[in-house]
Structure 1
Amino acid sequence: MSWDISGRVVLDDVGVVAPGGAVTGLLGPNGSGKSTLLRVLAGVQQAGRATSPSDGGVRAPSSAPEPATDPATAFDGADLRAMPRRERARLLALVEQDAGTDLPLSVLDAVLLGRIPHRSLLAGDSDADRAAAHTALAAAGAAELGDREVGTLSGGERQRVHMARALAQQPRLILLDEPTNHLDIAAQLHAMRVLRDLAADGVTVVTALHDLNLAASTCDHLVLLDQGRVVAAGPVSDVLVPAVLEPVYGVRVDVLTHPRTGRPVLSFDRD
């Protein structure tokens, strides 16, 4: 897919596959197009600021015999962009950076917003909805926050609540924009464990990350963007190599091997 804002190209012929039931890390420097790509896929990119995306984009493998009308944003043979919003919300959840609200909502009520696609328009919260919300809060490490007002939370606490809202939505595809933003080390590792558990349950996970070592330790598949284009995509060991990373980030990269996990460990230097 291609996407421009006021004539400035933000995404330039982006086309990648996110393997089903895996954690795909979306990498790249600031301004490389990661957030825009996630928002376009989720259908929440602000109207009027950009031209319509052309063919291309991210798709998950489909078991359907025929491809979607637009394979650019296909998931299980269906075009995400062509879906009615409510239908898309049953399938896809988006966790944005620093998403906030001015509404005086409790944390539990904020998480229950994730249940809206699964109930009739005029129905209230059911016992099943509340159970799903409490389960999601516990999974996100935010069970103790349920009675708090969202506006009183720290940045890290809000981030966990955003994750819980997406989990309550029970999506089959989850898109996350820097889900470890504002989190301390233990909370970052917990968040990535949640994503790995989702993938193990068959959910397709696509997450933008700045921390390359976090991506190295937790992702199955990587996509590297630079200036709106895909410059590398594939297994972690193929993407996190000096020849690929150094031209994109403008730093020297040394790749070591973790003695326990066998995964790459990266070291950086400006010289």
Structure 2
Amino acid sequence: MTSIPSRTTAAVDPVATPGPPATLSAERVRWSVEGRLVLDDVDVTAPAGAVTGLLGPNGTGKSTLLRLVAGVQRPDGGRVSLVGADLLTMDRRRRARQVAFVEQDATSELPVTVLDAVLLGRTPHRSMLAGPTTADGALARSALERVGAADLASREIATLSGGERQRVHMARALAQQPRLLLLDEPTNHLDVAAQLSTMRLVRELAADGVTVLTALHDLSLAAATCDHAVVLAPGPAGHVVAAGPVDEVLVPEVIDPVYRVRTTVLRHPRTGRPVLVFDQP
């Protein structure tokens, strides 16, 4: 039976990681399709135990980069490592114990219940032929509760709304207990309150030691919630134009030429975080 670490209470902890916070490093990652270069020697560092926003206009390769880091696709060149271990050469099962990936618009037409879908996150942590343990079930239910979806446990995935599916896939990732969490537009399909709740959870995960790399379209949401930012710019292929702390990256000198807008940076009266206001140039 899988041993589930706990905090000071006996409750199952759905985000207890299998090791200390880990830094992600992607170096000179290249990828092309049908002769067209999509990512051109991209370097990305996601600091350990922090939330790093992967930003850029449509078509700059944000989703592609996440799939390459997750091992869903193979890059044409480059190296991706987590605390020095090469994720690209790591076998799939071992990588799944380290990395969880929540894709954008992940759908399923199979007659699978929400609880069974979340239990799939436990697959890398048990032997090939073993079924879910009691501890696995408790952890899956705890993950659903953490994302505010406990009431969906008996529903079939195919009957859920886009926002509900997004929460369930996040719960599956939590059940996986990753050291690195990759999120592709985690606030897609969500209303404002749900967006804020999701990003608060992401920050809590980072505080618990999970390294987070998340693609976001909403620059204001990134400014309010991310510790670090990496900005990709288009053409002829996606490449990094700025990376570092949010206060240093989300500035007009970086944003305006990439997004073709005019940016004003204000300060939130309570949090002191940057608030971005945009105009047409």
Counterpart check, 1:91 vs 2:98: yes
Give, in whole Å, the separation in 1 of the partners of 2:37 and 2:164. 35
Deviation string, structure 1 residues 87-134 (Cα, Å, up to 9, x no partner): 000000000001111210000001111110001111111001001101
Alpha-carbon offset, residue 18 of structure 1: 0.7
Amino acid paired to 1:260:
R
* Superposition map of 1:45-124 within 5 A: 45=73, 52-55=75-78, 72-124=79-131
Give, in whole Å, the separation in 2 of the partners of 1:215 and 1:194. 14
What's the Cα RMSD here? 0.9
Alpha-carbon offset, residue 153 of structure 1: 0.4
Give, in whole Å, the separation in 2 of the partners of 1:264 and 1:133. 36
Give, in whole Å, the separation in 1 of the partners of 2:99 and 2:48. 13
Alpha-carbon offset, residue 194 of structure 1: 1.1
* TM-score (normalised: structure 2): 0.87
Counterpart check, 1:31 vs 2:59: yes
Give, in whole Å, the separation in 2 of the partners of 1:168 and 1:184. 24
Q: Which residue of structure 2 lines up, in the alignment, with residue 259 of structure 1?
A: 269
Of 253, 261, 278, the residue aligned with 1:243 is: 253
Of 156, 162, 167, the residue aligned with 1:160 is: 167
Of 199, 203, 215, the residue aligned with 1:196 is: 203
Amino acid paired to 2:149:
A
* Superposition map of 1:112-261 within 5 A: 112-227=119-234, 228-261=238-271
Q: 3-state SS of the aligned residue for 1:100?
A: coil
Amino acid paired to 2:82:
F
Counterpart check, 1:11 vs 2:11: no
Gaps of 5+ in 2: 1-28
Give, in whole Å, the separation in 1 of the partners of 2:233 and 2:38. 10
Q: Which residue of structure 2 lines up, in the alignment, with residue 65 of structure 1?
A: none
Deviation string, structure 1 residues 183-221 (Cα, Å, up to 9, x no partner): 111111111111111111111100000001110011000
Give, in whole Å, the separation in 2 of the partners of 1:159 and 1:223. 23
Amino acid paired to 1:3:
W
Amino acid paired to 1:20:
A
Deviation string, structure 1 residues 151-181 (Cα, Å, up to 9, x no partner): 1100100000010010010000010000000
Amino acid paired to 2:178:
P
Gaps of 5+ in 1: 56-71
Q: Which residue of structure 2 lines up, in the alignment, with residue 69 of structure 1?
A: none
Give, in whole Å, the separation in 2 of the partners of 1:122 and 1:17. 37
Amino acid paired to 1:232:
A
Alpha-carbon offset, residue 53 of structure 1: 2.6
Q: Which residue of structure 2 lines up, in the alignment, with residue 2 of structure 1?
A: 30
Question: Alignment identity in percent?
Answer: 69
* TM-score (normalised: structure 1): 0.91
Q: 3-state SS of the aligned residue for 1:193?
A: helix
Alpha-carbon offset, residue 15 of structure 1: 0.7
Give, in whole Å, the separation in 2 of the partners of 1:192 and 1:23. 10
Alpha-carbon offset, residue 140 of structure 1: 1.0
Alpha-carbon offset, residue 234 of structure 1: 0.3
Give, in whole Å, the separation in 2 of the partners of 1:53 and 1:138. 40
Q: 3-state SS of the aligned residue for 2:130?
A: coil
Amino acid paired to 1:180:
T
Aligned residues: 250
Runs of 4+ residues over 2 Å off in structure 1: none
Counterpart check, 1:43 vs 2:66: no
Give, in whole Å, the separation in 2 of the partners of 1:234 and 1:214. 17
Give, in whole Å, the separation in 2 of the partners of 1:212 and 1:53. 30
